[in-house]
Chains A and B, each alone.
Chain A
């Protein structure tokens, strides 16, 4: 697989184990971006010349690819800068529409800051309250607690499809069903989910699904918000500018139809087209086999870590786990471990993974995270273990 990824093919010594932060990019995506800038570059939805028409067709074809991939209609696919902007859009715009004083927004304690802070801002503005579903000791969502917490005041339920820090696939179908009983709108943070699982938003019946291109083999700076058309039509615009208007007068403006209503200004055209290429790449994969591969590498690491008495892990493997291994070491700070790995050209993540509330639940301020992907092999895990042993010698 490494041969499909120019950065990895060009540096065979590099061991990249930080795919949960961003994936490496396949050659096909890089070449598609280059082709766009070399031969197709023009602004979209504006020009009356052929080059602009061509760019517009390529941009809208990328939207259709996304829509087909997640089983949505084209107008329900909003291009954003990434998952973060997509969640902010919903929290702000749908928050304006739906939140009143005393209403509740339900999240989990394991969320990425991007799925906490926008809701806190929306709640503060509306006088609403954010509540958090706890985790069980096995670091799974406590569904009994969720059942008890969801009530008629709950207006939004937002949670990750897959936890970025734990690698656990959350039971989103169950949570969506609970939310529906009280009429709450559901948002799924698919930053990790869209990179590992086939997504069918109709089958999930979520109200919104957000994901980033860069974690799913695509470019940085491009992401997607899927939203049910009836909701997007009812929501006020998030940003004003070109493209999102139907008519502007000095007295006021009217809004364009979906999806343009939520795409103010010149979009990231190349990014969207690159994301289309990334989806083609993912469509060429056997996703269940890829997930099994990642999980097997995670199991290899977890089993090896049982020989390190100072290492504490937090998640047991299961079908609801994608192979991400997060751990704390009794005498090595995660930054120090990451630096020692870096000296051996091994890239791992160290820190709170933008999930500080979860770190509190885990009882640590930071952890090290190894996130294997399709281009990793057993030898990459062995290289990491060698670096860990070296760190233990140094910090013993």
Chain B
């Protein structure tokens, strides 16, 4: 659970929904992946742009507050990162989603952990991360060539 009163993290999550960070299709993106939620038709499109070997994510799409906030938080974590950071962030998401975030974790991870309050909506939260998984696999395949 995040530190501070519940109302605080609810407001912060709502802020990521109402004012999503890194929203939009970047020009000259290198890889992309789109995911759909089959229960409601929501969709998220994640784009990866590269500069000097480092990657940054942006996204577009339409979805509920948890889906958009999760996308916004994910993209906030992945700006100017290398492949290893992308992989470890995916791993960290899985750990936080399964077990919660340790008290010393950064606020972004605390907010992602707060989304665990809505277990029935895990598909909404996971949607952008599934897109990231696909993009990271393509990126990893490319870096082997």
- A residues near B (Cβ < 8 Å) are 333-336, 339, 342, 350-352, 356, 359, 365-366, 394-395
Check B65 against A356 for contact (C-beta < 8 Å): no
B37-55: CB near A (< 8 Å → 1, else 0) gives 0011110000000000000
From residue A326, how far is it (CB to closest CB) to chain B in Å?
A: 14
Which residues of the partner chain A approach B64 to less than 8 Å between Cβ atoms? 333-336
Other 14 A-B pairs with CB < 8 A, given A335-B42, A342-B120: A333-B42, A333-B63, A334-B64, A335-B64, A335-B65, A335-B66, A336-B65, A336-B66, A339-B118, A339-B121, A359-B41, A365-B40, A366-B41, A395-B14
Q: Judge if B105 is at the interface, Cβ distance under 8 Å.
A: no
For the side of the interface on B, what is the size category? 10 to 19
Contacting A at CB under 8 A, from B81-125, are 118, 120-121, 124
With A339-B118, A339-B121 as known contacts, state yes or no: A395 contacts B65, CB within 8 Å: yes
Q: In the assembled complex, how far is the CB of residue A248 from the closest CB belonging to chain B, in whole angstroms?
A: 40
Q: Are B39 and A351 in contact (CB under 8 A)?
A: yes
Whether B39 and A365, one on each chain, are in contact in the complex, defined by CB atoms closer than 8 angstroms, is: no
With both beta carbons as reference points, the residue of chain B lying nearest to A359 in the complex is identified as: B41
Pair B121/A335 contact, Cβ less than 8 Å = yes
A366 with B40: CB separation less than 8 A: yes
Cα–Cα, bound, A232→B40 (Å): 37
In the assembled complex, B62 has its CB within 8 A of some CB on chain A: yes
Beta-carbon nearest neighbor of B11 in chain A: A394
Contact of B14 among A334, A335, A365, A394 (CB under 8 A): A394
User: Looking at chain A's contact residues, is the secondary structure mostly helix, strand, loop, or mixed?
Assistant: helix
**A350 / chain B contacts, CB cutoff of 8 Å:** 40
Q: What would 21 A/B residue contacts be, using CB atoms closer than 8 Å? A: A333-B64, A333-B65, A335-B40, A335-B64, A335-B65, A335-B66, A335-B121, A336-B66, A339-B120, A351-B40, A352-B39, A352-B40, A359-B41, A365-B40, A365-B41, A365-B42, A365-B62, A366-B40, A394-B14, A395-B14, A395-B65
A-contact 0/1 string along B120-133, CB 8 Å cutoff = 11001000000000
Residues in B with CB closer than 8 Å to A342 are 120
Q: What B residues does A366 contact at CB under 8 A?
A: 40-42
User: Which residues of chain A come closer than 8 Å to B118, judged between CB atoms?
Assistant: 339
Which residues of B have CB within 8 Å of A335?
Answer: 40, 42, 64-67, 121, 124
Q: How far is the CB of A112 from chain B (nearest CB, A)?
A: 14
Give Cα A164 to B5, complex, Å.
Answer: 41
Quote the shortest CB–CB distance from B15 to chain A (angstroms). Answer: 12
Considering the chains assembled together, what is the distance between the CA atoms of A333 and B17 in angstroms?
A: 11
Q: How far is the CB of B38 from chain A (nearest CB, A)?
A: 9
Closest to A354 in B: B39
Q: Given A339-B118, A339-B121, A394-B14, does the pair A351, B65 have CB atoms closer than 8 Å?
A: no
Shortest A57–chain B CB gap in Å is 42
Residues of A within 8 A of B62 (CB): 365
For the complex, what is the distance from the CA of A334 to the CA of B40, rounded to whole Å?
9
Chain A residues with CB under 8 A of B41: 351-352, 356, 359, 365-366
CA distance A394 to B65 in the complex (A): 11
A356: B residues at CB distance < 8 A: 41
B118 nearest CB across to chain A (Å): 6
CB-CB < 8 A to B66: which residues of A?
335-336
Within the complex, the shortest CB–CB distance from B7 to chain A, in Å, comes to: 11
In the assembled complex, the Cα of A365 lies from the Cα of B14 at a distance in Å of 21
Distance in angstroms between the alpha carbons of A336 and B66 in the assembled complex: 8
B-side contacts of A334, CB under 8 Å? 40, 64
- In Å, the complex CA distance between A351 and B20 comes to 22
